[in-house]
Amino acid sequence: MQWWRDAVVYQIYVRSFSDYYGDGIVDLQCIRARLGYLELLGADALWLSPFFTSAMVDHGYDVADPRSVDPVFGDMDTFDGLIADAHEHGLRVTIDLVPNHTSSEYEWFRAALESSPGSPERARYHFRGGRGPDGAEPPNNWTSIVGGPAWTRVQDPDSDGEWNPGEWYLHLLTPDQPDVNWTNPEVWADLEKTLRFWLDHGVDGFRIGIADGMSKPEGLPDIEDCPEDAGAAIGLFAPVDGHPRFDDAGVHDIHRMIRAVLDHYPGRMVVGEVRIGDSERFARYLRPDELHLAFNFRLVQAPFDADAVRTAIEQSLAAVEEVGVPPTWTLSNHDVSRPVTRYGGGPPGRARARAMVLVELALPGVVYLFNGEELGLPDVELPDAVLQDPQWERSGHTERGRDGCRVPVPWEGGAPGYGFTSSQPWLPMPPEYGRLTVADQLEDTASTLSLIRRAVELRKTHPGFDGRSVEWFGAPAGCLAFRRTGSTLVCALNASPNLVPLPPGEVLLVSGPLKGDLLPPDTAAWLA
């Protein structure tokens, strides 16, 4: 059963979601306490960011034991309890997988550092001799996508047992995230074990980070004529087309292995972070024996402009049409500036973010909402001293990184900590967050939370959301209007500076107040 076809999936960035018990520890237990809220919101499934044992250099995306819960977040019993409770609330649970790299704290990597060149321990990663005199230059010219070289030099033992500068290892992210060597059968066996471990614990699926990574071109050749580095402007998911470090042909065999494991567990789903602009190459990841779904980031990369949004939608639909899998839609996640801020901040930014979420929820396919998006949270401008994203250090303090969108969720007003915690939040929460709390917004029918709740409810219950493709209507300059093919619901977006007439039909929902019969700028409406 493909429960995910039209699902609304709520992404929980675990360390920012809720410290319900106020002990400063954001554990999985706190998520259990908030499941009622997620059910109220209308979510069908959760995506939990990594909660595995980790050195927390990249907040869990540096996994030091893929088959465990980090003690900061609880233990396996708490996890099992969370799965059971979530299922009782009608929520499926999907979790992150990080197969491109491990933490440098993983026992494998520690063993590799203690071993010699050519050893089986080093063969699980990409260790190479350097170039130039004494091998003092990195083995190739690759850069890390979070800044700096993609290679770090280690010490090797000589015949007397002395340790001297020796080989280099590859890390497409930070040096604390060494890339594993996917030509090594042990690496395959380990991921298979991890998949089965979590599937046996009842998870409903996985999200694979950097699903276009993992496999590397044979011989790790220098990159020639490569476009500017990915990663800078829009977070980690700028298209990687033309970067030979990614989208190597061998990656598809890995996805086939993953899918083969999942096929033994009916009703489980795997979605990959596929950062590829070319539709044909993107669709390869969605062949019947590979991923069920792929994130596409076209909508998140589009500015608030009707033509750009329409193009993003059309391209996203076209990319999956041939393979017949549902598209996915994302406006927000833990790697990118929040929509309110991206669309200009302040009241216009908020109005546009509300409008865009109606556009998103009108589309066929799977919608991902990031915790706090339903509250219309803006990014937080954090002082240098509290920044934690490794991008900040790695870029030599030129990229501030992703912390601004990761500030904890405010649950209720009053004391700072805003119901997220009664101790110190891990990133400071500004007073503005105290005015955007869940508690206040639940009471206010005009709030962003109420808008999204209503939209999700209509999406589930109104017959106008049936069609699987989209038909466009003529619309005034700077506007767009579409409906799902064969269906009655029309979504209209006014991204122009002018008041425009509404398309015909009965108004079901609007993202902001109408002016009589006219749709104001920065506003979207659903009509039936």
Query: What residues line the site for ligand GLC (CB under 6 A)?
Result: 58, 61, 98, 173, 209-210, 236, 273, 334-335
Instruction: Specify burial of residue 361 (Cβ count, 10 A radius: 0-12, 13-18, 19+).
Output: buried
Q: Who contacts 281 (Cβ-Cβ below 8 Å, separation ≥6)? A: 241, 247
The amino acid present at 130, given as its one-letter code, is G
CB atoms within 10 A of CB 193: 12
| Complete edge-to-edge strand list for the sheet that includes strand 92-97 | 293-295, 269-273, 205-208, 92-97, 45-48, 8-12, 366-370, 328-330
Q: Which two tokens stand for residue 399?
A: 């990229």
Smallest gap, in angstroms, from Cβ of residue 299 to ligand GLC?
17
CA distance 27 to 137: 43
Quick one: 19 or 335, whose CB is closer to ligand GLC? 335
Residues constituting the chain: 528
Smallest gap, in angstroms, from Cβ of residue 346 to ligand GLC?
27
Q: Who contacts 137 (Cβ-Cβ below 8 Å, separation ≥6)? A: 130, 131
CA distance 27 to 71: 9
CA distance 353 to 16: 21
Quick one: 214 or 317, whose CB is closer to ligand GLC? 214
Considering only CA atoms, which of 281, 310, 309 is closest in space to residue 294? Answer: 281
Quick one: 7 or 173, whose CB is closer to ligand GLC? 173
Smallest gap, in angstroms, from Cβ of residue 61 to ligand GLC?
3
218-to-120, 126, 213, 221 alpha-carbon distances in Å: 19, 11, 14, 7
Smallest gap, in angstroms, from Cβ of residue 210 to ligand GLC?
5
Run of H or E residues at 267? none
Q: Which two tokens stand for residue 114?
A: 């203690």
Smallest gap, in angstroms, from Cβ of residue 233 to ligand GLC?
15
Smallest gap, in angstroms, from Cβ of residue 95 to ligand GLC?
13
Smallest gap, in angstroms, from Cβ of residue 57 to ligand GLC?
10
Smallest gap, in angstroms, from Cβ of residue 367 to ligand GLC?
18
Quick one: 52 or 465, whose CB is closer to ligand GLC? 52
CB atoms within 10 A of CB 59: 21
Smallest gap, in angstroms, from Cβ of residue 4 to ligand GLC?
19
Smallest gap, in angstroms, from Cβ of residue 433 to ligand GLC?
22
Quick one: 7 or 236, whose CB is closer to ligand GLC? 236
Quick one: 342 or 453, whose CB is closer to ligand GLC? 342
523-to-222, 305, 452 alpha-carbon distances in Å: 48, 12, 14
Quick one: 61 or 343, whose CB is closer to ligand GLC? 61
CA distance 88 to 202: 13
Quick one: 79 or 368, whose CB is closer to ligand GLC? 368
269: β partners: 205
CB atoms within 10 A of CB 470: 20
Quick one: 273 or 399, whose CB is closer to ligand GLC? 273
Quick one: 35 or 173, whose CB is closer to ligand GLC? 173
